[in-house]
Every structure is written in C-alpha cells, then in structure tokens.
Structure 1
Amino acid sequence: MASSQHPSFPIRPYPSSISGPSQQPPQSSTRGKPLGFSQSHAPAAREAARIERDRLDRERQQVAQKSTHAQSQAPSALSQLADEQRDEVNEAFALFDLDKDGLIDYHEFKVALKALGFDLPKPELLDLLTSHGIAPPSYQPPPGSSGQHVVPASRLHLTLNSFQQIASELILARDPRDEILRAFDLFDTEGKGMISLDDLRRVARELGEGLEEEELSAMIEEFDLEGKGGVGRDEFIGICMN
C-alpha cells in the first residue's frame, strides 16, 4: 500500500519576493545636504553679513550727525521774533509765574498763551506739556508706583525756555491777519465792527499820546473810505498790510 504522506518541499535558501521584506538600497551619507554647498563657506557668509551691518550702521550714524548739526545751526524760533514780540512772550511768563519759581503749571500756561492771543484746547495744551514739560521738584509719585512711573501731563511744568520755544513757534505760524485783527479788537472793544473816533480817542489817551482832536478826526476821515463814521475791519487790514 502506498504511503499517504507527501514528500516535503525543500526550504528555500533565499527570502520570498512576495512574503519577505524588500531589500532597500544603502542610504547615502550626503542625503539632506544641499548640492554644491560646503560647510567651509558658512564663516565667510557670516563675516560678509557682519561687514554689511557695520556699513549700514556707519551710514545711519552719519545721517544722524548731519541732522543734529543742521538743527544746531538753525536759528531758534525766539531769535526770529521782533524785539517787541520777544518782550511780550517774556512778560506773559513773568506775569503768570505767580510763585516766581521759574516754572508755570497747566493753568498758568493756558492763561499765559491766552494773553498772547492763543486760546488752545485742553488736548493740545496737554500735548505741549508732554513734549516740553518737566516734573516739578515738589512732585511725589503715588505710593506703590514703580520706577517707571510716568508723570501725568497735567502735573508737568514749563521752564521759561520751553515756554519761549512754544510761544515763538505759535507766533511764527500765525497768519498776519490774525495779529492785525487782534489789534483791531483792542480798539473796537464793543464789537461794533469798526473803529470810531471815540475808540481812537480812548486808545490815544491810554497810550499817553497827546493828539489833538483835529488830528484824530483827520485819521478817521482819511481811512473811512465808505463814509460810515469809522474804520472797518477790511479797511484796517488794508492799512496795516500796505
């Protein structure tokens, strides 16, 4: 009787291409490195970047030095005022420096500018104090505040030099017509819109000018182009501008 057992197959001496793992090619040791780049180039690139930064820094310093020099050579705003205008600025500061400590606070600053013809809103006044003001010697930071405490703008004070700078810049930026109309209002205190003979007589008396009545009348008649008995705003501006 023939045997029911099948002969066994021989074991393959190599892995099957179906069930066994596939063979991977060996990894190159240069994988992940950019082609044509050598690590020896890195120090040279860093040195070139440093040289470029130094060059840019030198250029910025030269520009800053030129700007500072130009500012130092530029005339101050105060020096561009007429002597009478400089006197008005100094008198306004002295008048409202009530405690005579060489400083004016927010309220004194406001009325001093108003005396010069500038009625600035509160936000603008605070901006000027922020950019030009200093903390007064008597100021004490609130308890528990850090070393980085910022003094509120409303508590800052102005020195005479700072006030002169601010007032001078405002005067130089003012329209000449505004100055003329301000002078007109000194004559026309009642807001009539014209300077009458009575207005002219009063101002002459206040200034101590010994003008005769005939002279005052002649001045009104000369400039009263419309024959209304006084000098109007436009006529007064024309007199001062010509």
Structure 2
Amino acid sequence: MASAQSHPSFPTRPYASTLHGKLPERNTASTFGASSTREAARLERERQERERAQREREAQSQVAAGSSNPLNSLTDEQRDEVNEARIDYHEFKVALKALGFDLPKGELLNLLTTHGIPPDSQQQQGPQVQSSRHALSAPVSPGRLLLTLPAFQTIAATLISQRDPRDEILRAFALFDTDNKGMISLEDLRRVARELGEGLEEDELVAMIEEFDLEGKGGVGRDEFVGICMG
C-alpha cells in the first residue's frame, strides 16, 4: 500500500484578520440617538402646526362673533348713547320681574334712591361725580329717579348672586299648584304637560306621581318637590 502523503500546509496569510471571529460592532447608541432626534423634530413640527391651526380657528371664531354682535359696528359716540340709556320706576319694575324678582314698591324706591339719578342730570364719569351732582340738584322724589344701564346691571347682578335656589323651586311649584292646595296632583301634572306640549301617556303621569308621593296622599307635596329638585 502506498503510504499516505501529508497534504502540504497552506501558506500563512501575510495580513492579520481584523474580525477575530466577530462581526463588527455597530454604534447602537448613536443610531438610536439620531432616530430619536428625527422623531422629536417631527413631533415638534406637528405640535407647532396644531397650535397654528388652533390659533387660526380661534381668530376666525372671534371675527365671526364680532361681526354678529351689532354693538361692534357702533362708533364710540353711539356706544355712549347706548350706555346712557335710562329706565324709570315702571320700566325698572318690569325688568326685574322679567328676571324673576317681584320686589315690593318700597324696595324698588330704595334701590332708585341709592342708584338713581335725576331726570335732567347728565351722566358723569364715576360715582363720586354723580353723587356730587346729585347733591347739587334740587330734591327729586325717588319715583322720578332714573337708572342708567351700568346701575341696573349692578342691581341685577347683586340680586341674582343673592338668590336662594329654594325660592326658585317654590316658584316653579306654584306654577303647578295654581289653586294653592299645597301639593301637585295628577290633574296639575296633566295640565302642565299639556301646556308644555309634552306627549306623556296617562300611565306615565300616574307613575310620576306615585314615585314621588312618599306619603300616599295622591300628590307631590311642597317639601317632596323641593327634595326632588335639589337632589
């Protein structure tokens, strides 16, 4: 048998390997940082675009609101005419009643005495000037005093802020209980539903009375009605 011949050895490489059996490492930190920077820039552009669009919508809304308000088309002189509008005792009484305040005559006259001005006086700048002019004018009975728009707004705001919710509820109760029997009966509920155009069935009306008639007296009492409205 022929003797096995050894294979000639491969020549050594004249260069050193740079891999050393490993893949080249990527700089993942710098790659992630660059991606994050691009993403942050994109989000910032989108945010600025949303803010710009929001500002444009708000500006358009303000323009639309301004154009729909007739007061904005008035000159300064015309605005002064509006602000100098005055109401007398009877107009004052009707205006307050429209807001739900049915004040007795004595209270109305007291308010006119405090906030009113004489019919022949010119509106002045500031309450001190008005007071001094009022003092120099001849005495005028409270029933002839007039209220300016700012004075009426002050009175109305004060009354509204002092309004008792229970009083409002009792006024609503009186709209049902027109004959002052102290409770809302099925007939009262039926009448109000008809006046308001509510198409409620008879069994629905009966169920409403039965649900809130805690004492079984055939109607909803005043205290029960207040409890319903105030939760």
Measured at CA, do residues 164 and 207 of structure 1 come closer, stay the same or move farther in structure 2, by a change above 3 Å?
farther
SS of the aligned residue for 1:195 comes to strand
In the alignment, what sits opposite 1:134?
117
Q: Aligned partners of 1:122, 1:208: CA distance in 2, in Å? A: 36
User: Does 2:153 match 1:170?
Assistant: no
Does the CA contact (< 8 Å) of 1:132 and 1:162 recur in 2? Answer: yes
In the alignment, what sits opposite 1:121?
104
SS of the aligned residue for 1:211 comes to coil
CA shift, 1:132, in A, is: 2.0
SS of the aligned residue for 2:184 comes to strand
RMSD: 2.7
**Following superposition of structure 1 onto structure 2, how do residues 57-76 of structure 1 map, counting pairs within 5 Å?**
none
CA shift, 1:239, in A, is: 0.4
User: Does 2:204 match 1:215?
Assistant: yes
CA shift, 1:240, in A, is: 0.8
Does the CA contact (< 8 Å) of 1:180 and 1:237 recur in 2? Answer: yes
**Following superposition of structure 1 onto structure 2, how do residues 183-222 of structure 1 map, counting pairs within 5 Å?**
183-222=172-211
Alignment size in residue pairs: 136
Does the CA contact (< 8 Å) of 1:129 and 1:154 recur in 2? Answer: yes
Measured at CA, do residues 135 and 231 of structure 1 come closer, stay the same or move farther in structure 2, by a change above 3 Å?
same
Measured at CA, do residues 147 and 115 of structure 1 come closer, stay the same or move farther in structure 2, by a change above 3 Å?
closer
In the alignment, what sits opposite 1:107?
90
TM-score normalised per structure 2 = 0.51
In structure 1, stretches of 5+ residues that fail to align are 1-100, 140-145
CA shift, 1:220, in A, is: 0.9
Q: Aligned partners of 1:210, 1:137: CA distance in 2, in Å? A: 55
SS of the aligned residue for 2:179 comes to coil
Q: Which AA in structure 1 matches 2:207?
A: A
Measured at CA, do residues 107 and 180 of structure 1 come closer, stay the same or move farther in structure 2, by a change above 3 Å?
same
CA shift, 1:215, in A, is: 1.5
Q: Which AA in structure 2 matches 1:104?
A: I
TM-score normalised per structure 1 = 0.49
Q: Aligned partners of 2:197, 2:88: CA distance in 1, in Å? A: 35
CA shift, 1:204, in A, is: 1.5
Q: Which AA in structure 1 matches 2:230?
A: M
In structure 2, stretches of 5+ residues that fail to align are 1-83, 123-134
Per-residue displacement from partner, 1:172-191 (whole Å, max 9, x unpaired)?
21222111111100111110
2:219 corresponds to which of 230, 233, 236? 230
Q: Aligned partners of 1:186, 1:197: CA distance in 2, in Å? A: 14
SS of the aligned residue for 2:166 comes to helix
Per-residue displacement from partner, 1:128-178 (whole Å, max 9, x unpaired)?
112222334699xxxxxx963243321112244433331232122122211
Per-residue displacement from partner, 1:29-58 (whole Å, max 9, x unpaired)?
xxxxxxxxxxxxxxxxxxxxxxxxxxxxxx
Q: Aligned partners of 1:194, 1:173: CA distance in 2, in Å? A: 27
Q: Which AA in structure 2 matches 1:127?
A: N
2:138 corresponds to which of 140, 149, 156? 149
Q: Aligned partners of 1:130, 1:221: CA distance in 2, in Å? A: 51
CA shift, 1:214, in A, is: 1.8
Q: Aligned partners of 1:203, 1:162: CA distance in 2, in Å? A: 37
SS of the aligned residue for 1:208 comes to coil
Does the CA contact (< 8 Å) of 1:117 and 1:182 recur in 2? Answer: no
Measured at CA, do residues 164 and 205 of structure 1 come closer, stay the same or move farther in structure 2, by a change above 3 Å?
farther
Does the CA contact (< 8 Å) of 1:187 and 1:199 recur in 2? Answer: yes
